[in-house]
Amino acid sequence: MKPPRGLSRGANAPPPSSASLAEPQVLPAAGKTFPTHVPVVIVAGGGCGLSAGLAAHDAGATALVLERDTVCRGSTSMSAGLIPAAGSKGQRAAGIDDTPALFVADIMARTKGQTDRAVVETLVGQSAAMIDWLVEAHGIPLQPVTGWAAFGHSRPRLHQLPNAQQGEDLLSALLDACGRAGVDVVTGARVTTLFADPDGRVRGVALLRPDGSREEIGCDALVLATCGFGANHAMVAANIPEMKDATYFGPEGNRGDGMVWGAALGADLRDMSAYQGHPCLAQPQGIDMNLEPLMKGGIHVNANGARYFHEVDNVSAAALRVIAQPGRFAWYVYGEKQFRLALGSPRAREADAVGAFRYGETPEALARAIGVPPDALAATIADVQRLADTGETCPFGRRFVREDRLEGPFRAVRVTGALYHTQGGLRIDGNARVLHADGSPLPNLFAGGGAAVGISGPGREGYLPGNGLLCALGFGRIAGTNAAKLATRG
Ligand SMILES: Cc1cc2nc3c(=O)[nH]c(=O)nc-3n(C[C@H](O)[C@H](O)[C@H](O)COP(=O)(O)OP(=O)(O)OC[C@H]3O[C@@H](n4cnc5c(N)ncnc54)[C@H](O)[C@@H]3O)c2cc1C
């Protein structure tokens, strides 16, 4: 068994000293008894873990969610809260003609066929039912965002809470739903140790409390929802070297623990180079700038005042393009229409409140405000306006349209490319069962969200917006349901 690359402690590490009890590890369950037993234990309380908790409850099992932070947040609460699904009731009511087959085709095209089609079909096939379940069974009023068919989605299929509410609201809504359903969510509970039989059956876990005390809990089935390894610099450097010096914009607790345990139990790891990058993290404010203004005529320019890529082609791959510019940054340029559109997002309003937007009545005035050559920026903006008027395609392959013409006054926010979350991880099947390299499942281990391999294939190119939360909430639901079935079967 090989530990994940970049980790000093893994499958065959020597027995831990007491000083290393805080590190993720798997110990033999032989002879152990647990003071408490819960049929389904779920490690971590982000979107995946909470969805798994709700699903396990709905399938008739008692479930317990253990979250290391003292408040549940995770990447889920940092996200824009946009979840794709094909054929939801909300889409149908909005007159959006979408099908799982179209969505699967978009994913396979974006990944160039380099992801597991059968798993994608299962996940996408239940995506609408997952949204409808959250809406109808758990009172989380997700709605389709009708303006969003870009970056590789051929239909508007992203769903969000009303009024462009973001990930914080989604996470709160999931927590409230857990509260209503009676799913226990324990925070300040950092799981460090799994206890397992030689065949990989997990018998229980140990967790560390903020005061240093330890507790042990037995279980019949375990769901790993610990997300990716973005906060583990050694793992990022080993698996995604192109992003090793990039800003990681995610929770510090996402250190790849699920992958360490899985590998120690003999699980296969897949697509460890996969990640979601993002080209629009406001710098130095650290605010995630929304993409709608970019889709509607906004542009990026570098420190020379020049455009340098097709801004709305591949959002994930674009992060690296920004980092490749002089000084590793770019300016996200808005005309008046794009700025008004930006302010629909609470995060852009926050950026405005802290003075992240620089202002210029004319391109030259904006150039002086942001310190780029005025002639160059004026020429870039004039060219984009001409392209919008003529409908010509720009040298990077982008088409601008007249209704989204970039008109002053102008604003710009300094942005960098960031690593938002990693997309590789534990190999799972369509039932969210964690698999060995030979394709056989581990006895009672499930995974989803960033802890499991996503549906983006390897590298930076395959991510379609929203597929992070689709994997989190979708596989969370599948994992919770199947873990409950296993646990209640006895
Ligand atoms: C700024 C930003 C915007 C994004 N926007 C979108 C979007 O709009 N749509 C989309 O689909 N995706 C988006 N993503 C990606 C998306 O947020 C993630 O793919 C998704 O939230 C992952 O969910 P998760 O439940 O797997 O992980 P998280 O929500 O990150 O939850 C993992 C949890 O595991 C806990 N944990 C880790 N180790 C342990 C341990 N040992 N014991 C106990 N707990 C542990 C962590 O504390 C954390 O709370 C965005 C990401 C970022 C950063």
Q: Is 287 helix (H, G, I), strand (E, B) or coil?
A: strand
The Cα 454–Cα 422 span in angstroms is 9
The Cα 178–Cα 184 span in angstroms is 7
Nearest ligand 1 atom to alpha carbon 81: 8
> In sequence order, what DSSP letters do the residues of 60-72 get, joined into one string?
T--EEEE-SSSS-
Q: Is 324 helix (H, G, I), strand (E, B) or coil?
A: coil
Closest CA to 464 of 96, 127, 153: 153
The Cα 159–Cα 123 span in angstroms is 16
Nearest ligand 1 atom to alpha carbon 471: 19
Residue 429's Cβ-count burial label (10 Å; 0-12, 13-18, 19+) is: middle
Q: Is 237 helix (H, G, I), strand (E, B) or coil?
A: helix
> In sequence order, what DSSP letters do the residues of 151-220 get, joined into one string?
TT-SS--EEE-GGG--HHHHHHHHHHHHHHHT-EEE-S-EEEEEEE-TTS-EEEEEEE-TTS-EEEEEEE
CB-based contacts of 298, cutoff 8 Å, min separation 6: 311, 332, 333, 334, 335, 338, 406
The Cα 415–Cα 42 span in angstroms is 36
Tokens read off for 94: 């909005």
> How many angstroms is it from 372 CA to the middle of ligand 1?
36
Tokens read off for 228: 């990716």
Its sign, for the CA torsion 164, 167, 170, 175, is negative
Question: For the chain, how many helices (H) and strands (E)?
Answer: 17, 21
User: Which residue's CA is minimally distant from atom 52 of ligand 1?
Assistant: 79
User: Which residue's CA is minimally distant from atom 13 of ligand 1?
Assistant: 79
Helix or strand holding residue 236 (H, E): helix 233-239
Closest CA to 249 of 460, 420, 80: 420
Position 23 scores a pLDDT of 85
Q: Ligand 1 pocket test: which of 222, 226, 289 has the largest number of ligand atoms within 8 Å of its C-beta?
A: 226
Other beta carbons within 10 angstroms of residue 382's beta carbon come to 12
> How many angstroms is it from 84 CA to the middle of ligand 1?
16
Q: Ligand 1 pocket test: which of 276, 291, 421 has the largest number of ligand atoms within 8 Å of its C-beta?
A: 421
User: Which residue's CA is minimally distant from atom 34 of ligand 1?
Assistant: 226
User: Which residue's CA is minimally distant from atom 14 of ligand 1?
Assistant: 79
Q: How far is CA 362 from the centre of its chain?
A: 38
Position 14 scores a pLDDT of 40
Q: How far is CA 118 from CA 109, 128, 192, in A?
A: 15, 17, 33
- As for ligand 1, residues whose beta carbon falls within 6 Å of it are 43-49, 66-69, 73-76, 78-83, 190-191, 225-227, 249-251, 253-254, 257, 276, 288, 420-421, 449-450, 466-470, 472
Its sign, for the CA torsion 420, 228, 140, 116, is positive
Position 489 scores a pLDDT of 81
366 within 8 A of 358, measured Cβ to Cβ: yes
The Cα 60–Cα 38 span in angstroms is 13
The Cα 445–Cα 316 span in angstroms is 30
Position 19 scores a pLDDT of 40
Q: How many residues does the chain have?
A: 490
Q: Residue 372: how many CA atoms within 13 Å on its side-chain side? A: 32
Position 21 scores a pLDDT of 57
Question: Which pLDDT tens digit goes with each residue over 21-77?
Answer: 568 999 999 999 999 999 999 999 999 999 999 999 999 999 999 999 999 999 999
What backbone torsions phi and psi does residue 349 show, to the nearest 5 degrees?
A: -65, -40
What is the chain's pLDDT, residue by residue, as a tens digit (490 residues)? Answer: 344 454 433 333 344 344 455 689 999 999 999 999 999 999 999 999 999 999 999 999 999 999 999 999 999 999 999 999 999 999 999 999 999 999 999 999 999 999 999 999 999 999 999 999 999 999 999 999 987 667 889 999 999 999 878 899 999 999 999 999 999 999 999 999 999 999 999 999 999 999 999 999 999 999 999 999 999 999 999 999 999 999 999 999 999 999 999 999 999 999 999 999 999 999 999 999 999 999 999 999 999 999 999 999 888 899 999 999 999 999 999 999 999 999 999 999 999 999 999 999 999 999 999 999 999 999 999 999 999 999 999 999 999 999 999 999 999 999 999 999 999 999 999 999 999 999 999 999 999 999 999 999 998 889 998 999 999 999 999 999 999 999 988 6
Tokens 């309380």 identify what position? Answer: 45
Q: What is the pTM of this model?
A: 0.93
Other beta carbons within 10 angstroms of residue 326's beta carbon come to 9
Report the relative pairing of strands 410-422 and 247-248 from DSSP bridges: parallel
* Residue ranges of domains in the chain, CATH in brackets: 21-274+423-490 (3.50.50.60), 276-419 (3.90.700.10)
